[in-house]
Structure 1
Amino acid sequence: MEPEKKGIGLPALVALVVSSSIGAGIFALTSNLSSGAAAGPALIAWVIVGFGILMLALSLSNLGNKRPDLEGIFTYAEDGFGHFAGFVSGWGYWLSAWLGNVAFATVLMSSLGYFFPAFKGGQNVPSIIVASIVSWILTWVVNRGVESAAAINAIVTICKIIPLFAFIVVGIVLFKGHIFTTDFWTNVASHAGRTDSIWTQVKSTILVLMWVFVGVEGATMMSSRARKKSDASKATIIGLISLLIIYVLGSMLPYGYMSQEKLATIQQPAMVYIFKDMLGTWGGAFISVGLIISILGSWLSWTMLPAETMLLMKKSKLLPPIFGRENKHNAPTFSLIMTGVLIQLFLLSLLFAKNAYTFALSLCTAAIVICYIFVGMYQVKYSWQHRSEKGSMGQMWIGVFATAFQVFGILMAGWQYLLLCLIVYVPGIFFYAKANKDNGAGHYLSKMEWVASIVITIAAIVGIVLLSKGLIAV
């Protein structure tokens, strides 16, 4: 029997899975889903994404148990495939983390727009100004070394769950089967004289469904602090099943309350205005308040994350020392400020974006998929190397499915956003090369690293060309 010790128990680990993943995405999910798919294809998409994310979560859980010595998700890529792979994975994770904050900003301002019309839509000048102020305040707070205490995390988690629970209960009560089954396989596009195939509808939803699971890796990274090692694996599965129930019910129940045309065109965040339609003005206000608090809590956590990622990359000698330079509060000031500046620039660009939230979440998901692919591949490699151990071949196939799903998702739904992400890799390669030289490697890049860098640069140029020609929607 596995001995118990002081540490994080199973309920707390399950809560960590749920809290790490639930951000702003679920509150806007219904509109994003219904704009591309009818109820039937949406359910098929949930089955595909649910299976793929389960494979990823199982891979993370296994690696967390087998290799607790590896610190930071990018170290799986580094240990399994070399120094440059570690940089590619880590830079993608950092990129995803701060791009997620841009998505938070958009939904936060849209939520404030429920009370203050000047912020409606979240993409006008007042919204950008207030979002910028919030971003820099949170950067300042983290730079002071203030971390989210257990009490704050508990409050934020409750603020996330209570409005979602209320929405699901009311949605079940008001659910009408005949509305849900109307045009069950035919999406709203058919009403504009065009009928998309079931597969086209499924494909259009993959990226947005993957987005709401960003952060599922948080709990498995805490396995070394679990009261029992086996709890980490259990918590991942229980937490993921909990998330799937919340997400599927929260996004699909409205199909049985409103027509798809109305859902697809409802204001964002969709849950706010659907609940307002269900219960009146106070219903929208209830969801909005919970959402605002939820986003601020998530935004604080995800302000820490990109800076912490850069700090860990510096410790692994993937970035120059300046990225890990800490102030008297042990906060990486340079990394925080650099990330804050990039968030600010991206916030300004939202004035010209057609659908800022969707654009930001698409880039965020495309960036983190790079990390997740390396996790899956390392799971395959590690399991194969230890294939004589019991259960290793089963773990290898889990890694195969996890990798295949992430590759499938990005190729089917977001390859163009991956090209845009690679643009930000170009300056990152410069920093990586400098770190190599500073750390006595004797060269900036090895021959294979030069080849990989050239491929990344060419792909980035292709992304810029496609963007300039309007072939990538912003």
Structure 2
Amino acid sequence: MAEQKMSRMGLTAMVVGGMVGAGIFSLPRTFANATGPLGALIAWVIAGTGMYMLARVFQALAERKPEIDAGVYAYAREGFGDYPGFLSAFGYWIGSCIGNVSYWVLIKSTLGAFFPIFGDGNTAVAIAVASMGIWAFHFLILRGVQQAAFINSIVTVAKVIPIGIFIVIMFFSFKMDLFSFNLYGGDLTTGLFDQVKATMLVTVFVFIGIEGASVYSRFAKDRADVGKATILGFISVTCLMVLVSLLPYAVMQRAEIAGMRQPSMAGVLESVVGPWGAIFVSVGLLVSVLGAYLAWALICAEVMFAAGKSKDMPKAFAKVNANNVPVTALWVTSGVIQLIVITTYWSRDAFSLMLNLTSATTLIPYLFVAAYGLMIAKRGETYQVRPEERQRDLILSTLAVLYTLFMIYAGGLKFIVLSAVLFAPGTVLYFIARREQGKPVFVKTSDWVTFGVIVAAAIYGVYGLATGAVAI
């Protein structure tokens, strides 16, 4: 079967489709809970600059290492060895699965505003409907990546329209006196640094997806399109997110926005134009989130497929069906998402937990990518071609490393500990893969040390959850 190929616009739609999901519709309340317009602006400058550096590292690696497919995980393996490569792949995959669960939680919560039977998205009926959705998408994707990517391109256009209309209405309703009142956070008592720090994991969550084109690099018609699609998607989405989080401060008081039900964008628009605003945004959200789910279900399966192909995961993950879709990887992904959706029945604030945990697990692979970019720039590897770019790439990758480290610190150790609870048992997959090849599980001392740290953190995490020391 001929390999299906994606255009630059198709790759850009994968980036935009991955980034514009649940997060953007929840930004007004999420930011208003923590800060005012000034703190929000500082947070976006830090996050935007850091993520731009990361996007540029992805772009440089796509151009300089075109032979490395499924970039996010493969760069870690190339630079740091088999076990770090596995951890990057597993972290990215499990983080993406958790992110997909947050989409279903928000869909159910949105429907709950109109149909009480859905509650806050964690009733038995809500979980049953979400389960039907998971498997409907599963069988759609099994029909072919190209078909699913085409649907994603249509959905990407459909979901940007309500966001654009929201922004236009906010501009026309702008009240400078309200904006000035909210500027420093209104009645918030926390300092500006703490306000900004409180928004950091949220900015990571809404930027996840920036690597959408990189993950699908093996499908690109032209490898140069991967980097260009990444930057184009990043700039477009960043503009949308900054406006969506800042403009509500000019139509309502911060405390009112902070008290809204999610998706808060619906409540903000309703306050300006009446009930039709909430319905309009809610429909837009459902289209957006379902589209984002499609993009991310594709990405999850693709990462596991690439890891199976390179023998970092059990070889069963490398199996494809007649439509060239990674079938085992997709079944396992859908099964894990289904299990986590069921657990939301016992969760008090499933959306916030999923959001923060997704960000924490995804930061680990991002750190590996930035560090690999720094490594090849320092060595001068591949810089026989266009050597004048080496100094620039050295600066960009250094800043990207510092940014991801700061994000891990800002997010708090709690979520890193919770991530370890997932990483420790996940290492069983690595054990199986190594045994299939007749190789020792850990070759380097650093691998043993890494595994030891993960197990210790996981034990502490389980103990903390059992005793209430680690609260979720």
TM-score (norm 2): 0.92
CA separation of 1:144 and 1:95: change in aligned 2, threshold 3 A: same
Selected match of 2:272 from 257, 273, 278 = 278
Matches within 5 A, 1:14-93: 14-72=12-70, 73-93=72-92
CA separation of 1:284 and 1:223: change in aligned 2, threshold 3 A: same
Distance in 2, matches of 1:229 and 1:430, equals 34
Distance in 2, matches of 1:238 and 1:144, equals 29
Give the CA deviation at 1:223.
Answer: 6.2
Task: Output the aligned Cα RMSD.
Answer: 2.3
Checking the alignment, whether the CA contact within 8 Å between 1:27 and 1:291 is kept in structure 2 is: yes
For each residue in 1:297-330, what CA deviation from the matched residue of structure 2 results, as whole angstroms up to 9, or x when unmatched?
A: 2212222222221111111111122233344554
Amino acid at match of 2:118: F
Distance in 1, matches of 2:9 and 2:338, equals 37
Checking the alignment, whether the CA contact within 8 Å between 1:65 and 1:224 is kept in structure 2 is: no
CA separation of 1:438 and 1:15: change in aligned 2, threshold 3 A: closer
CA separation of 1:466 and 1:122: change in aligned 2, threshold 3 A: same
Selected match of 1:392 from 384, 387, 390 = 390
Checking the alignment, whether the CA contact within 8 Å between 1:68 and 1:224 is kept in structure 2 is: no
CA separation of 1:14 and 1:301: change in aligned 2, threshold 3 A: closer
For each residue in 1:21-69, what CA deviation from the matched residue of structure 2 results, as whole angstroms up to 9, or x when unmatched?
A: 1111100111111111122211111111011000000000000000010
Aligned: 1:434 with 2:432: yes
Distance in 1, matches of 2:195 and 2:178, equals 19
Give the CA deviation at 1:15.
Answer: 4.1
Aligned to 2:441: 444
Distance in 2, matches of 1:101 and 1:319, equals 21
SS of corresponding position for 2:199: helix
Distance in 1, matches of 2:216 and 2:331, equals 27
CA separation of 1:151 and 1:232: change in aligned 2, threshold 3 A: closer
Aligned: 1:245 with 2:239: yes
Selected match of 2:374 from 366, 369, 380 = 380
Distance in 2, matches of 1:52 and 1:258, equals 30
CA separation of 1:329 and 1:224: change in aligned 2, threshold 3 A: closer
Distance in 2, matches of 1:400 and 1:11, equals 30
Distance in 2, matches of 1:313 and 1:95, equals 13
Aligned: 1:316 with 2:315: no
Q: Which moved more, 1:162-171 or 1:391-400?
A: 391-400
Tell me the number of residue pairs that the alignment of Structure 1 and Structure 2 aligns.
Answer: 463
Distance in 2, matches of 1:396 and 1:40, equals 31
Aligned to 1:464: 462
Q: Structure 1: which 5+ residue stretches go unaligned?
A: 1-6
Q: Which moved more, 1:361-370 or 1:414-423?
A: 414-423
For each residue in 1:178-219, what CA deviation from the matched residue of structure 2 results, as whole angstroms up to 9, or x when unmatched?
A: 11121422365x4xxxx1111111111000011111111123
Distance in 2, matches of 1:185 and 1:246, equals 22
Aligned to 1:3: none
Amino acid at match of 1:218: G
Checking the alignment, whether the CA contact within 8 Å between 1:36 and 1:187 is kept in structure 2 is: no
Give the CA deviation at 1:238.
Answer: 3.5
CA separation of 1:383 and 1:420: change in aligned 2, threshold 3 A: same
Give the CA deviation at 1:455.
Answer: 1.1
CA separation of 1:11 and 1:114: change in aligned 2, threshold 3 A: same
Give the CA deviation at 1:393.
Answer: 1.9
Distance in 2, matches of 1:237 and 1:103, equals 26
Matches within 5 A, 1:404-423: 404-423=402-421
Aligned to 1:167: 166
Q: Which moved more, 1:339-348 or 1:427-436?
A: 339-348
Aligned to 1:116: 115
CA separation of 1:360 and 1:148: change in aligned 2, threshold 3 A: farther
Aligned to 2:105: 106
Distance in 2, matches of 1:334 and 1:55, equals 34
Aligned to 2:363: 369
TM-score (norm 1): 0.91
For each residue in 1:406-455, what CA deviation from the matched residue of structure 2 results, as whole angstroms up to 9, or x when unmatched?
A: 111111124311211121112221221221122121x2222522222111
For each residue in 1:338-384, what CA deviation from the matched residue of structure 2 results, as whole angstroms up to 9, or x when unmatched?
A: 32332222222222322211110111111111110001000000111
Aligned to 2:132: 133
Give the CA deviation at 1:158.
Answer: 1.6
Distance in 1, matches of 2:11 and 2:103, equals 24
Distance in 1, matches of 2:441 and 2:27, equals 44
SS of corresponding position for 1:74: helix
Selected match of 1:198 from 192, 197, 204 = 192
Amino acid at match of 2:88: S
Aligned: 1:455 with 2:453: yes
Checking the alignment, whether the CA contact within 8 Å between 1:380 and 1:399 is kept in structure 2 is: yes
SS of corresponding position for 1:428: helix
SS of corresponding position for 1:335: helix
Distance in 2, matches of 1:354 and 1:106, equals 12
Distance in 1, matches of 2:218 and 2:313, equals 26
CA separation of 1:326 and 1:223: change in aligned 2, threshold 3 A: closer
Identity %: 35
Give the CA deviation at 1:260.
Answer: 0.9
Checking the alignment, whether the CA contact within 8 Å between 2:13 and 2:153 is kept in structure 1 is: no
SS of corresponding position for 1:250: helix
Aligned: 1:218 with 2:180: no
Checking the alignment, whether the CA contact within 8 Å between 2:152 and 2:294 is kept in structure 1 is: no
Distance in 2, matches of 1:54 and 1:253, equals 23
Checking the alignment, whether the CA contact within 8 Å between 2:19 and 2:292 is kept in structure 1 is: no
Aligned: 1:348 with 2:347: no
